[in-house]
Amino acid sequence: QLQLEESGPGLVKPSETLSLTCTVSGGSIGSTRYFWGWIRQPPGKGLEWIATIYYSGSTYYNPSLKSRVTISVDTSRNQFSLKLSSVTAADTAVYYCASQTYSYDRSGFQQPKGYFQQWGQGTLVTVS
């Protein structure tokens, strides 16, 4: 069974860049079976999808964050990463990484199914 674990600084200064890594075990990040996503949850609030990536590098972003977000994958380390630039207090949240399954579009290409199957335990990032 897949296991995911987030890592990165718990405290980031305003205007700086938040950087997190998700390490995958129990499976290969290069597998064609999965897409990989980031979701966040401000304290006491709901969930927000941030971005998704495939091992090939195909990326999908939430338009509300796209201008500040970069998601990347490192197949040699079985990791994928998130960078969020120009952070403010509003970016304070628990950040989760998760796996996603796929479907085929009309052209026969794999596309992520947008729900999240396996989740990491989450990591709290405070902007202050």
Q: Residue with structure tokens 């941030």?
A: 50
Side chain identity, residue 40: R
- Joined tokens for residue 110: 């794999």
Measured from the CB atom, the residue of 21 and 75 that comes closer to other proteins is 21
| Separation of alpha carbons 67 and 61, rounded Å | 9
What six digits make up the tokens of 67?
A: 């201008």
- The answer to whether 121 contacts other proteins (rule: CB under 8 A) is yes
Cβ neighbours of 36 (radius 10 Å)? 24
CB count in 10 Å sphere of residue 28: 14
The window from 17-25, 69-77, 83-91, 109-117 that contacts other proteins (CB under 8 A) reads: 109-117
Distance of alpha carbon 65 from alpha carbon 9, whole angstroms: 20
Tell me how far, at minimum, the Cβ of 60 lies from other proteins, in Å. Answer: 7
Binding mask 25-64 for other proteins (x = CB under 8 A): ---------------------xxxx----------x-xxx
Q: Is 95 in the site for other proteins (CB under 8 A)?
A: no
How many Cβ atoms from other residues are within 10 Å of residue 27's Cβ? Answer: 16
Q: Which stretch binds other proteins (CB under 8 A): 15-23, 73-81, 82-90, 116-124?
A: 116-124
How many residues of this chain interact with other proteins, rule: CB under 8 A? 18
110 binds other proteins (CB under 8 A): no
Which chain residues interact with other proteins by CB under 8 A?
Answer: 46-49, 60, 62-64, 96, 113-117, 119-122
